Structure 1
Amino acid sequence: MLAFKGGAYRFQLLGVCIVLFFSQSVAVCATTEEFQFNTDVLDVNDRENIDLGRFSRSNYIMPGTYGMVVHVNQSDLPEMPIEFYSPEFNPQESQVCLSPELVKLLGLKESLMPSLSWLRDGKCLDIRTLKGIEARGDLASSSLYLSIPQAYLEYTADNWEPPSRWDDGIFGLLLDYNLYAQTQKNVSSGQNSHTLSGNGTTGTNLQSWRLRADWQSIMGSGGRAGRKLEWSRYYAYRALPKLGAKLTLGEDYLSSGVFDSFRFTGASLRSDDNMLPPNLRGYAPEVVGVARTNAKVIISQQGRVLYQTQVATGPFRIQDINDAVSGQLNVRVEEQDGSVQEFTMNTANIPYLTRPGMVRYKLAAGRPSDLEHRTQGSLFGIGEFSWGINNGWSLYGGALGGSDYNAMSLGLGRDLLWLGALSFDVTQSWAQMPIENRTLSGSSYKLSYSKSFEEYDSQIAFAGYRFSQEDFMSMSEYLDMSFDASRRGKSKEMYTISFNKHFRDSGLSAYLNYDHQSYWDRSANDRYQLSLSRYFDLGRFRNLNLSLTAFSSSDGARTDDGMYLSLSMPWGNSGTLSYNSTLNRNDNTNSVGYYNRIDDRSNYQINAGNSRSGLNMSGNYTHYGDIATVSTNASYGANSYRAFGVSTQGGMTLTAEGGALHRSSFGGGTRLLLDTGGVANIPVRGYGSSTRSNRWGKAVVVDVNNYYRNRASINLNELGDKAEATNSVVQATLTEGAIGYRKFDIISGDKAMAIIKLADGGEPPFGATVINSREQEVGIINDSGSVYLSGINAGARMTVHWNGQAQCEVLLPQLLPEDLLMNTLLLPCHELSSKNEIQPDTKSYGN
């Protein structure tokens, strides 16, 4: 025992006797030691008036239940009630109770679960069962820290959690929307047109189920008269983590790596690659093109709008389409001069390879249907698989069966190591034609290749060739010919390639996208886009960029091709000055443009130049607001047209914990509701720009990923002087479509020095704590009752705690000095009435 002279305060350190059994028994035993702390080292006038009971035992927490965030190694779990109790063998020690509900979230291997031992009638895990586990509670940060050897845990990766930690979120309602309004005047004809269009998703979450309805609408006058509102799709889905799959009921589009996509009503069960670690996930389609003016790009599939956005003049590349989309996409580019570009793109699948020993599958059953929710054709069933035979080979295939249409497919995928990946498959179809009363039978052959050449800074993102015999039909072609005689298009040959290359020595980057589709019964479609870009210095000018884009699109009846040239250079702190030239069959334009990023929320671009018709000007402005993303654009062509457009993308989320308007999410997608404890105007962020909590202290961030360890934080650089965050980072791993909920602990109010006096003229003991009405610790009493207080608000009530309970009450003045930091508040501490007495020293859920 160590002792010091003078006034002393006793601390106890409880030793733990640990016996380890290896090949030779080794016993390690630490006896109980008592320490005395010399209070003479404290610069305190009244040494008898000291309350250090909260520090008297190392890591000691009074028995009770506390709301705590659980930290498991490097990851976080949501706040939950954590119980601390005194074990029977030593009442002076505190022990954390790891409940069965908490243990399920730790990510322990399934093989360990039967060997676990439990205490207190199965309520608490006996952590001695798993050697090496350490648990430590911290009341100051309301946290429980668990250190668990990695050997006990399921597979984890950077930013990815095992299924046991996935969060289905909370009950809630949601509405996501994308609205676009435009007014346009054709100068030559004098005709005015006005259009309002939109699309989005509404729905609700019930535990692990997601109920959704997609909508799209258009209203117009003048040259685009009409009004239309469609509920294009009703469906429900949920994740099945144990199967690594997604179950969907209702109206859906077939997602297949073997067969073409078509719309149906029924049920599907498919392996979800998004549930895999990020480095094992798949491929998402992208759409590229060139806009001649400010334009609206609409991407649809079989009549359903999947995505629409506003793009500025010049090349565009859309890469944030849902990776579940497969099959042929229809792209429509509506220019502000009234012209329209339309083309189709095939979403390519990378060669079908599966990890050794794994099986991926997709099952579906139902009846084909159309946008009017009418079923077409007979019942069908489909199943497909991919089996990783070994490190090099994968076998894949499937079958689609119905009374009128049947198809079978079989293929092989091969990992060629440094040569890339290759797959080949054959599909055979049998179609009973109702009009012709005969059966058509044919085959289709497909070859796919993918390769990254890191040593050459290049990548063949996808290359494919497909040939189909004249009597071969996909399901979508069969439905078109059976129920819509006006639609034709039996596929013959298809080539597609996407290629990237970076020439490091010259600083040149190249991108090529090429699609060719020929048919047995109509003209072929061809489309390519080639982009070259190079950064260089010229004299005192640095980081100049020269880019050239050539494009061509042909459907047999019409060819649309052209070139776009741009030279840009930095101008000022955040601006870019550019020269742009566009050459196509109908017009040549030359313009000078200026782009500037005002801040991380706002940017604008203006262009002015000439064309064959005369002067033309355009501009657009985009603002990423707290409740929506708003873009405005205007275009003017002398003797040609005038146009103005506004687009708004946003959403609304409402739950029992509160709700907020917010920026847009991919229709009905995953989101995270952040609670700042009723404090408004707190800047929070996911991975993008900040958004601020509303008047009720709620904000929603939508830049989160499914089955991915997402982090949300308070932007401390933008946090005002009247707010203080005791925890500024939260984590969540959410299932698809979930509404996650996380809470920050915010102390709101001014800060100032104060002196607290008791009714008898004395002061609270040294080390006493000051707790506000929200049970947050806002100060610790120093010598002579002085304290630096946080969270000062006019008329607020605070309590002063020592000896483990509230002892007196402080009422702040209704009128506070203008400059609190230059003043010291004198605060009397009144006796507590029994009805206002608060027993726990921390936030408590009851013993």
Structure 2
Amino acid sequence: MSLPKATPFRLALLSLSIAFALGGHGEAFASVSTEAIQFNTDVLDVEDKKNINLDHFSRAGYVMPGTYSLALKVNDDALPEVKIPFYVPDNDPQGSVPCLSPEITAQLGLTADSLKKLTWWHDDQCLNLESLPGMQVRGDLSTSSLYVSIPQAYMEYTAPNWDPPSRWDEGIAAILLDYNINGNTYRPHNKGHNTYTLNGNGVAGVNLGAWRFRADWQGRLNHATGSTQAVNRDLQWNRFYAYRALPALGAKLILGEDYLNSNMFDSFRFIGASLRSDLNMLPPNLRGYAPEVTGIAQSNATVTISQQGRVIYTEQVAPGPFRIQNLSDAISGTLDVKIEEQDGTVQEYQLDTANLPYLTRPGQIQYKLAMGQPNNVNRDKEGDNFITGELSWGVNNGWSLFSGLIGSKNYQAISAGIGRDLLAFGALSFDVTQSFARLAGENTINGGSYRVSYAKRFDAIDSQIQFAGYRFSERDFMSMSDFLQAAKTGIRYGGSKELYTISLSKNFRDIGMSVYLNYNHQTYWDRPENNYYSLTLSKYFDVGAIKNVSVNLSANRSMYNGVTDDSVYLSTSFPLSNGANMGYSLNSSRYDTVNRVTYHDRINERTNYQLGVGSNRKGASGTAYLTHQGDTARVSANASYANNQYTAFGLSATGGITLTAEGGGVHRMSVPGGTRLLVDTDGIANVPVKGFGAPVTTNVFGKAVVGDMSSYYRSKAQIDLNALPDDVDAQQSVVQVTLTEGAVGYREFAVVAGQKAMTVLRLPDGSYPPFGAQILNAKGQSTGIVGDSGSAYISGIEPNSLMTIQWGDDDGCQVAFPESIDINNPSLLLQCTPLTAKQLAQR
């Protein structure tokens, strides 16, 4: 028997041929048609035009009655996959209508007024589409999607990449453990002891519904060989708390140990409860200011950012300037920054995380409430129970009013202020705070504090004052932290006097240069002032055939506790033809001046490295720094050598472990306790998934965790089709999700694994399934379409597996694949055993 010629390319044109056969019926896809389409089969390139069955395509948008898992697509937004039943309507026995349940309708993002207009059918379980004029719904099995078109007048406010609260996903129940571990070894070349240091911090937690239960930990281990000092070990659980989002209030509820988050009062630690408006729930362009930390590392160094003894962030950085921008905008107050070099030298300074001008959208009210018992990191009681609250009201397009108070038995403070949107001239706010404190044996002490804040984006000159502020406090003014310290020690220290802060950026596009300035000046009534200055200049230019030469100048000065640290970093770099960069830098500080030549390159999209050689006043030195974005962790390693001084090595790892009832994995995670997404490729391993940073690969169970997903912000994960294994096909390669803070989302990809082969299908009587018949695997996934004379290019073939070929409602057959499949055979002949209508219905 001669077999017909067929190629995968020819079959790939099959769907396109069917589309052309539809003729002028393309407009029918706007809604479900009630009339059958008459195909012009003469345009199809098939040998036996009598053996054709296109019943599945005979009605535009027709879907056979049943329940399907479909991706929900509302206007231009892709929502999570849902199960959609299709029912036969009473007015069209030959048609089918998708049933949108009340739960699915709640995800559409309709306004409150629109929801009141809705009517239902099928025992009030399905939305009557005619209740919203202009609304259209269409199912498409070829893309496994349900397309919903809704006039914008019925929709809640949306913004690019932002969904209204009705679409937010609380995620699934989960257990998580996130960590950030840094290890260092230091060996002096002369006198001294070898030292080994291991420090880390992270978050352990449990998610149950909308609740997030968290425990923050930090630890440190120090050991000096040959010394008389014992090994120093310290592990501390410094915060236990639970929180959840309250979307109806646009707020966040926190129970347990917390740090006061306020736009008006200084932060302090307490145990209790707080309820506050969460700006993260607003569209991205209306969210708040997040602090930045800048500095200069003299060598491979560890940067630790803490507040009142609690480690917030730690990272190992390469020599030169660093800029940490991924701190949470929920952090407020004064931050302690420590830069610990590999030779043991330490630079410390403080930064004030001042807020932008306190403005509120017109008609909106923002609030923050808290109550509890002040305590310290050792959970010792400090002071009496307190209650605090603040409120901001957007009066109109220009003005905002805000006020707050904090009170306990012996301490009270009240604050009031006004904010003004100056439009072309920026935004400005002013507030006054008055404190009343009573210490043991003293009369009530009264004092005032006055603050002005300003921000402005100058589009005409391409510059921005991200924040500028001034605060003056009288000698007798006391913050809650000052009062608690004085009540504890019995000694009243002079508090803050003046505080100047500014953050400024400017681009000079004509000359290819940008400027960034950060300034923080703090004076006190009875102790030395603290200052921090940071200035960065960057310029790009071309030198002959060498393009994109960069020159950077960074200068820092910190004056902290009477110690002044100055550092200057000058560098230049230029790209090489192989994609690497060569550079020179001069790094000068009060400790030393180092000249260094560096070479920076990447091994692949996951791994980068930097090599450097230099000299200082004591001799030559060398450094190496490598970072790798692995599936299970972000790892960095570094080494330093200084002639006649020391040899040092460092290693850090940042990641997490997430476990759920749907599976879990070990993964990268740079924000401990943060939001993440568990993806499922239906048990298929080694599927690359792109999320944040380098792709992650599914484990042996077909699971992968994409870390650092945005909260309240539409995020996307997608299969990297360019790196997909040859035996895997992705029928659905993109998922989108909007997760609440700390959630563990869960999404499934439609993936088919197995061999691909060109086949010829035959029925027992020697005939073949009709042209256009669908080929389905055991999971109901489409793996091909029958072509001319029974030819079919089938994907997802597993040895000894079964597939169903179906045409019409009651006609089909079953193919059994052999144990050994020769995929190189251009015409693999397979027999298809007929199935009854009952057998088809059971599949």
TM bracket (short chain): over 0.9
CA contact 1:11–1:36 (8 Å) conserved in 2? no
Question: Matched residues in 2 for 1:587 and 1:286: separation?
Answer: 27
Q: Are 2:676 and 1:671 equivalent residues in the alignment?
A: yes
Q: Report SS of the residue matched to 1:505.
A: helix
Q: Is the 8 A contact 2:33 2:60 kept in 1?
A: no
- Deviation (angstroms), 1:47: 4.5
8 Å Cα contact 2:656-2:667 kept in structure 1: yes
Residue 329 (structure 1) aligns with: 335
**Cα offset for 1:449?**
1.3
Q: Matches of residues 724-803 of structure 1 in structure 2 within 5 Å?
A: 724-803=729-808
Of 257, 262, 266, 2:263 maps to 257
Matches within 5 A, 1:102-121: 102-121=104-123
CA distance in structure 2 between the partners assigned to 1:34 and 1:74 by the alignment: 29
Unpaired runs of 5+ residues, structure 1, are 1-8, 19-29, 842-847
Partner Cα separation in structure 2 for residue 639 and residue 431 of structure 1: 57
Question: Match for 2:516: what amino acid?
Answer: Y
Greater shift, 88-97 or 615-624, is seen at 88-97
Counterparts of 1:832 and 1:372 in 2: how far apart (Å)? 72
Which whole-Å CA distance do the structure 2 matches of 1:291 and 1:486 have between them? 37
Q: Which residue is equivalent to 2:663?
A: 658
Describe the superposition over 1:787-830 as per-residue Cα deviations: whole angstroms up to 9, x where unpaired.
Answer: 1111122222222223335743322222223xx24532222224
Query: Does the C-alpha gap of structure 1 residues 342 and 15 become closer, same or farther in structure 2, counting only changes over 3 Å?
Result: closer
Instruction: Summarize the Cα distance change of 1:464–1:126 in structure 2 as closer, same or farther, 3 Å threshold.
Output: same
CA distance in 1 between counterparts of 2:507 and 2:45 reads: 67
Note the C-alpha offset of 1:328: 0.5
Query: 2:832 maps to what in 1?
Result: 829
Q: In the alignment, what sits opposite 2:14?
A: none
Post-superposition shift, 1:265?
Answer: 0.6
Partner of 1:648: 653
Distance 1:664 1:41 in 2: 55
Q: Shift of the alpha carbon at 1:441?
A: 1.7
Could you tell me how far apart the structure 1 residues matched to 2:615 and 2:36 are?
Answer: 88
> Structure 1's 41 and 409: CA in aligned 2 closer, same or farther, altered over 3 A?
closer
Q: Where does 1:808-819 land on structure 2 (aligned, <5 Å)? A: 808-817=813-822
Separation in structure 2 between the aligned mates of residue 562 and residue 667 of structure 1, nearest angstrom = 31
Aligned residue type for 1:714:
I
Query: Is 2:536 the partner of 1:531?
Result: yes
Structure-1 residue corresponding to 2:4? none
Q: CA contact under 8 A between 2:269 and 2:374: conserved in structure 1?
A: yes
Alignment-derived partner of residue 363 in structure 2: 357
Instruction: From 371, 393, 408, give the equivalent of 1:402.
Output: 408
Deviations 1:100-128 (A, max 9, x none): 11111111110122221111221111111
Supply the distance in 1 between the matched residues of 2:65 and 2:567 (Cα, whole angstroms). 76
Which residue, out of 392, 402, 421, partners 1:415? 421
Q: Distance in 2 between matches of 1:581 and 1:824?
A: 68
Question: Is the 2:257–2:270 contact (alpha carbons within 8 Å) kept by the matching residues of 1?
Answer: yes
Note the alpha carbon deviations across 1:218-251, whole angstroms, 9 max, x for none.
1121178311111111111111111111111111
Q: Deviations over 1:240-279 (max 9, x none)?
A: 1111111111111111000001111111111111111111
From 209, 212, 221, give the equivalent of 2:211: 209
CA distance in 1, matches of 2:444, 2:747: 59
Report the Cα distance in structure 2 between the residues aligned to 1:452 and 1:189, rounded to whole angstroms: 55
Residue number in structure 2 paired with 1:621: 626
1:293 to 1:41, Cα distance in 2 relative to 1, 3 A = closer
**Could you say which residue in structure 2 is the equivalent of 1:27?**
none
The aligned amino acid for 1:811 is A
State the SS of the aligned residue for 1:717: helix
Partner of 1:474: 479
Alpha-carbon separation, structure 1, partners of 2:830 and 2:703: 33
Matched, 1:284 2:290: yes
Compared CA separation, residues 401 and 43, structure 1 to 2 (3 A):
same
Could you say which residue in structure 2 is the equivalent of 1:246? 252
Q: TM-score, normalised by structure 1?
A: 0.93
Structure 2 residue aligned with 1:492: 497
Partner residue, 1:839: 841
* Residue in structure 1 matching 2:199, options 197, 200, 211: 197
The more displaced of 242-251 and 505-514 is 505-514
Deviation at 1:91, TM superposition (A): 0.7
Q: Of 85, 92, 95, which aligns to 1:83?
A: 85
**Match in the other structure for 1:387:** 393
The one-letter code of the counterpart of 1:302 is: Q
The number of residues matched between the two structures is 817
**d(CA) in 2 for partners of 1:536 and 1:370?**
52
Q: Is 1:570–2:575 an aligned residue pair? A: yes
Would you say 1:589 and 2:591 are equivalent positions?
no
Report the counterpart of residue 226 of structure 1 in structure 2.
Answer: 232
Residue 482 of structure 1: how far off its partner (Å): 2.0
Q: What residue in structure 2 maps to residue 4 of structure 1?
A: none
Partner in structure 2 of residue 26 of structure 1? none
Q: 2:67 aligns with which of 60, 65, 81?
A: 65
TM-score, normalised via structure 2 length: 0.93
Q: Which residue of 1 aligns with 2:172?
A: 170
Distance in 2 of aligned mates of 1:178 and 1:714: 28
Classify the secondary structure of the residue corresponding to 1:527. Answer: strand
1:448 matched residue in structure 2: 453
AA at the equivalent of 1:134 = Q
Match of 2:306 among 297, 300, 324: 300
- Structure 2 distance, partners of 1:210, 1:295, is 34
Q: Are the aligned partners of 1:15 and 1:32 in contact in 2 as well (CA < 8 Å)?
A: no
Q: Quick one: distance in 1 between partners of 2:434 and 2:146? A: 59
User: SS of the residue aligned with 1:534?
Assistant: strand
The 1:609–1:62 alpha-carbon spacing in structure 2 relative to 1, beyond 3 Å, is: same
Partners of 2:34 and 2:805 in 1: how far apart?
Answer: 33
Alpha-carbon deviations, 1:552-596, whole Å to 9, x = none?
Answer: 111353211121111111123321111111122221111111111
User: For 1:153, which of 129, 134, 155 is the aligned residue?
Assistant: 155
Contact 2:677 2:744 in 1 (8 A): yes
Distance 2:355 2:640 in 1: 38
Superposed CA offset, 1:732-784 (max 9, x none): 11111111111111111221101122233332232222211222111112232
The structural deviation recorded for 1:483 is: 2.2
Q: Structure 1's 35 and 742: CA in aligned 2 closer, same or farther, altered over 3 A?
A: closer
Contact 1:513/1:528, CA 8 A, preserved across alignment: yes
Partners in 2 of 1:390 and 1:553 — Cα distance?
42
The residue aligned with 1:844 is none
Question: Residue 227 of structure 1 aligns to a residue in which SS?
Answer: strand
- Counterpart for residue 185 of structure 2: 183
Instruction: Kindly indicate whether the alpha-carbon contact (under 8 Å) linking 1:650 and 1:661 is maintained by their aligned counterparts in 2.
Output: yes
* Alignment pair present for 1:512 and 2:514: no
Q: Distance in 1 between matches of 2:59 and 2:549?
A: 65
1:682-704 per-residue CA deviation (whole Å, 9 max, x = no partner) reads: 11112432111111111111242
Aligned partners of 1:10 and 1:423: how far apart in 2?
64
3-state DSSP of counterpart to 1:478 = helix
Please tell me whether the aligned partners of residues 812 and 836 of structure 2 are also in contact (alpha carbons under 8 angstroms).
no
- Cα gap change, 1:643/1:44 in structure 2, threshold over 3 Å: closer, same or farther? same
Q: Percent identity?
A: 54
Letter in 1 for 2:697: R
SS at match of 2:712: coil
TM-align CA RMSD? 2.4
Q: Spell out, residue by residue over 1:594-629, the C-alpha distance to the aligned partner (whole angstroms, 9 max, x if none).
A: 111222211000110111111111111000011110
